[in-house]
Amino acid sequence: MSEESIRKEIFKKVEEFHRSKKPRPFVPGKTPVPYGGRVYDEKEMVGLVDASLDFYLTAGRFAKKFQEEFSKFLGVKHCVLTNSGSSANLLAVTALTSQKLGKRRLVPGDEIITVAAGFPTTLNPIIQNGLVPVFVDVELGNYNIDIVKLKKAITKRTRAIFIAHTLGNPFNLDEILKLKKKHKLWLIEDCCDALGAKYQGKYVGTFGDMGTCSFYPGHQITMGEGGTVTTNNPLLYTILVSLKDWGRDFINDPKKNTEKKRFSYKFGKLPFGYDHRYVYSHIGYNLNVTDMQPAIGLAQLKKLPAFMQARKKNAARLQKFLANYEPYLMLPTVLPKSAPCWWALPLLVKKNPHFTRNDMVLYLEKNLIATRPLFGGNLLKQPAYGHIKHRVAGSLENSDTVMHSVFMVGVYPGIKEAQMQHIINTLKRFFYAHRIL
């Protein structure tokens, strides 16, 4: 038998294996309802096995194809695949410190505007690069940066804005792009929770200088661990690849014959002809994926439009039900030009005499419905950030409210009719038990 026909035989067995796994029936209150998770079928498993049989192990043909397909999906020129969304954020911020950017490069002490009510690894690369985070408060309802306060926060030291489209709900790109232009700022969009969300019909992550994504389970698509930085800027692209690949200067590009020209250059004080593969133009990392990850990702990418639809439907269903309880809950708000692709649905428990956020969270958890806080609440209140150099522009009172009063429930495609009915019935029982009829 040829290698190809053995491979096909193995794929058939893998498909058979997947089909043999019988889904367990959903039992309300006994079967957990996660906030998110892997939704996959035999295609992802075949992809994984295909890459394993190659035994290339590190980023190879599947990584190349994923980068091409992902760029095509978003409509961007360049995509750098990396091993997590956190690595993508680290690469994006570090890229802005590259000498190759000349006068536009960020230097220690420069300020980057961000929010405190967010995920830690949006903030961390700012600190890790010796830059100063400037915290601006968020708006309640959409949990994105407050534009009025953002305008007041900008100083001569401000060089960039790095914020997330919180939970897949796009921030005000019209206003932020105006400020970017006026003050000549870099903009990085953290789209780790927002793949598939659109602003004025265009995918988020394509408006700023760079956009980042995460493929950790629970996001819009998964490959286990993984992330991307996308950009339309060719110089940023080469810097990102260099930082990801140990800091080396060399980019393997068959169209430019880079492999053949490896011994044809003089760099810095190195002797002429020193192997380009071992020339370092950045102080870099190794943040590569294995080829098994994008092999899964490629199958997931095909499912993304259906996943987006399912998230939209689940979020709408929950919002419709919860609209009856608006005296007690603040439902998410969305800008007119924003089309969210919800990671999870944020709910704010308003001050009321019947129940608190914790009462509601504990009741849902007791009924095996997973909840999450809005990440770190106010990150400045977290133990890790007690001593960081930073500036707070205005007050962070809404960030504190997020920490005290907001939680999230899942809307991911694994939540089908039975799970949704369980969430709604549980919430009905909760309201009833608290004399809200």
**Quick one: 219 or 248, whose CB is closer to ligand PLP?**
219
- Can residue 206 be called a binding residue for ligand PLP (CB under 6 A)? no
Interface segment toward ligand PLP; rule CB under 6 A; list 4-12, 16-24, 85-93, 257-265: 85-93
Shortest distance, CB of residue 163 to ligand PLP, whole angstroms?
A: 9
Closest residue (Cβ) to ligand PLP?
Answer: 85
CB atoms inside a 10 Å sphere around CB 268: 9
Q: Where are the beta strands (DSSP E) in 354-412?
A: 371-372, 391-393, 406-410
Annotated active-site positions, please? 219
Cα-Cα-Cα-Cα torsion 75, 81, 86, 91, nearest 10 degrees, comes to -90
Distance between CA atoms of residues 335 and 358, nearest Å: 28
Distance between CA atoms of residues 333 and 397, nearest Å: 18
Cα–Cα distances in Å, from 22 out to 10, 296, 381? 20, 21, 45
- Can residue 227 be called a binding residue for ligand PLP (CB under 6 A)? yes
Which of 67, 82, 89, 129 touches ligand PLP (CB under 6 A)?
A: 89
Shortest distance, CB of residue 341 to ligand PLP, whole angstroms?
A: 13
Size of the site for ligand PLP (CB under 6 A): 14
List beta partners, residue 409: 345, 371
Shortest distance, CB of residue 85 to ligand PLP, whole angstroms?
A: 2
Which of 67, 86, 281, 378 touches ligand PLP (CB under 6 A)?
A: 86
Check: CB of residue 284 under 8 Å from CB of residue 242.
Answer: yes
Distance between CA atoms of residues 43 and 295, nearest Å: 10
**Quick one: 98 or 228, whose CB is closer to ligand PLP?**
228
- Can residue 214 be called a binding residue for ligand PLP (CB under 6 A)? yes
- Can residue 228 be called a binding residue for ligand PLP (CB under 6 A)? no
Map residue 186 onto helix, strand or coil. Answer: strand
Check: CB of residue 231 under 8 Å from CB of residue 76.
Answer: yes
185-204: contacts with ligand PLP (CB under 6 A):
190, 192-193
**Quick one: 110 or 190, whose CB is closer to ligand PLP?**
190
DSSP H helices, 30-119, are 42-54, 61-74, 85-95
**Quick one: 89 or 371, whose CB is closer to ligand PLP?**
89
The amino acid present at 25, given as its one-letter code, is P
Shortest distance, CB of residue 13 to ligand PLP, whole angstroms?
A: 32
Which of 82, 98, 114, 121 touches ligand PLP (CB under 6 A)?
A: 121
- Can residue 122 be called a binding residue for ligand PLP (CB under 6 A)? yes
Burial of 396: CB neighbours in 10 Å, binned 0-12, 13-18, 19+: buried
Structure tokens belonging to residue 104: 């536009």
101-120: contacts with ligand PLP (CB under 6 A):
119
Element containing residue 6 per DSSP (H, E): helix 3-20
**Quick one: 137 or 190, whose CB is closer to ligand PLP?**
190
Which residues of this protein are in contact with ligand PLP, per CB under 6 A? 84-86, 89, 119, 121-122, 164, 190, 192-193, 214, 216, 227
